[in-house]
Amino acid sequence: MSGTLVLVRHGQSDWNLKNLFTGWKNPELTELGVQEANTGGKALADYGVKFDIAFTSDLKRAQDTLTIILENLGQQGLETIKDQALNERDYGDLSGLNKDDARAKWGEEQVHIWRRSYDVPPPGGESLRDTGARVWPYYLTEILPRVLRGEKVLVAAHGNSLRSLVMVLDGLTKEQILGVNLATGVPMVYKLNADSTVASKEVLGDMSGAH
């Protein structure tokens, strides 16, 4: 039997709360974000999983979420690999802007296209397809082989870097992935078959908070 892959989006950050485009910027978790990470960690503890290794991005909000989850699991010393391949989508010129201000500057429709299209990047930034172009090779070379060896692997990352992975794992089209939002701090548990396809997927927690 192959191993287990768990994906968790970081808890709410200060810039999520302020409705700012975050991208590769490095805001802190909010109190709610810390609470979400604790809730996700407790859900994994209740599920009874112990990890062999963890992966996270180069950004503090994902790393802090991972730290909190591992504390809940009593696995504070777990080997952790940090790589910017797992970073959030780079929003380029939109980074740090309030989403309403961006709409005022470029128009509602254009900002919606940048946020929700599959392959149209904002100025100086990445589309979801561009994000996947760095996430997928990293997954195939660094993460998947460990899962196929039977290891239990935890990945704490971001809404868009994880959406690009979910797209592949769940076999979604580029149209279907546009409607997918990942809740903050909610673990998704994948069991993989030996051929790397998904045997089962379980979401640990209430998805009603997805945004």
Q: Do the Cβ atoms of 152 and 192 come closer than 8 Å?
A: no
Structure tokens at 182: 């990942």
Catalytic residue among 36, 88, 126, 158: 88
Q: Which amino acid is at 182?
A: L
DSSP string covering 20-61 = B--TT--PPBPHHHHHHHHHHHHHHHHHT---SEEEE-SSHH
Q: Do the Cβ atoms of 211 and 65 come closer than 8 Å?
A: no
Active site includes 31? no
Q: Which amino acid is at 26?
A: N
List Cβ neighbours of 173 (8 Å cut-off, separation of 6 or more).
none
Catalytic residue among 10, 36, 126, 158: 10
Active site includes 88? yes
Q: Which of 109, 206, 127, 204 is nearest to 164 (CA)?
A: 127
Write out the catalytic residue numbers: 10, 88
